[in-house]
Amino acid sequence: MSGVRQVDAVLFDYGGVLTGPVRDSVRAWLAADGIEVDSYRRALEAWMAAGAEDGTPVHRLETGELTPAEFEAALAAELRTVDGGTVDPAGVLSRLFAGMVPDPAMFALAEDLRDAGVRVGLLSNSWGNTYPRARIDELFSPVVISGEVGLRKPLAPIYELALDRLGLPADRVLFIDDTEPNVLGARQVGMQALLHVDAASTRAAVAELVPDLDLDPTGASA
């Protein structure tokens, strides 16, 4: 560690970074609704494949071109239950994200960074899910949510929009995401980027760039 601060701002993804792992919520939903795992996997792999065009239901949902209800209908049409039945589309997204709850350790990291004089923002792809907006708007600035701005990660324009709102050069901004393509997208526009695995390793990695950040999470606010 050089002792010199390497970033002036940190942008956080929401789902899977400021919350528990999205995959855990998805797994619980599939089990609770009795959905065949392979039918979900096939649909998502096709819709999120590297190089896929923006016309997939996932991409259109993320940019707000598709409503949550329209996406639910499209996804349910691809799913089958373990006994071979169809899936009711109503409320699919709510059930899919029901187990995705805020991670206190990651919110504490954002608060500690802000208290250390580092700006903190949010850059998230939305799947029509509900954000805790009062808490987010109080802590983060800017707040860039794909469905609200009509852009999505990992394409360059959404990172450039966030940088423009920060008013900082890309190399002074760190982006944290739990998905590798989104991390690579940030690096393509010149940002520093970190693949999030867990709160402890992320805090340690961020402390390398912000030496005055307290490494001990027990000393962070909850």
What CA–CA distance (Å, rounded) separates 6 from 103? Answer: 25
Read off the pLDDT band of 59 (50, 70, 90). Answer: very high
Query: Environment class of residue 84 by beta-carbon count within 10 Å: exposed (0-12), middle (13-18) or buried (19+)?
Result: exposed
Same domain assignment for residues 90 and 112: no
Q: What is the CATH number of the domain that holds 116?
A: 3.40.50.1000
Same domain assignment for residues 133 and 189: yes
Same domain assignment for residues 74 and 16: no
What was the pLDDT predicted at 2? 59
In a domain, 3, yes or no: no
**C-alpha dihedral sign at 7, 13, 17, 23:** negative
Mean pLDDT (whole number) for 146-151: 96
pLDDT digits (tens, 9 = 90+) for 5-39: 999 999 999 999 999 999 999 999 999 999 999 99
In a domain, 4, yes or no: no
The pTM of this model reads 0.92
Listed residues 80, 96, 112: the one ending a domain:
96
Same domain assignment for residues 150 and 50: no
Same domain assignment for residues 43 and 134: no
pLDDT digits (tens, 9 = 90+) for 74-85: 999 999 999 999
Listed residues 68, 96, 124: the one ending a domain:
96
Same domain assignment for residues 14 and 80: no
- Residue 139 Cα distances to 93, 117, 134, 146, angstroms: 26, 13, 9, 19
pLDDT digits (tens, 9 = 90+) for 63-74: 999 999 999 999
Angle between helices 104-115 and 199-209 (to 10 degrees): 10
Same domain assignment for residues 205 and 118: yes
In a domain, 36, yes or no: yes
Same domain assignment for residues 60 and 121: no
What CA–CA distance (Å, rounded) separates 47 from 54? Answer: 9
Q: Which domain holds residue 60?
A: 22-96
Read off the pLDDT band of 99 (50, 70, 90). Answer: very high
Same domain assignment for residues 32 and 14: no
What was the pLDDT predicted at 123? 98
- Tell me the Cα Rg of the chain: 18
| Residue 220, pLDDT above cutoff 50 | no
Give strand pairing partners of 193: 175
Residue 60 contacts residue 150 (beta carbons within 8 Å): no
Same domain assignment for residues 205 and 111: yes
Residue the block writes with tokens 């050069």: 169
Residue 191 contacts residue 8 (beta carbons within 8 Å): no
What was the pLDDT predicted at 213? 87
Listed residues 96, 126, 150: the one ending a domain:
96
Total domain count for the chain?
2
What was the pLDDT predicted at 221? 41
Same domain assignment for residues 139 and 43: no
CA-closest candidate to residue 23, choices 11, 33, 34, 15: 15
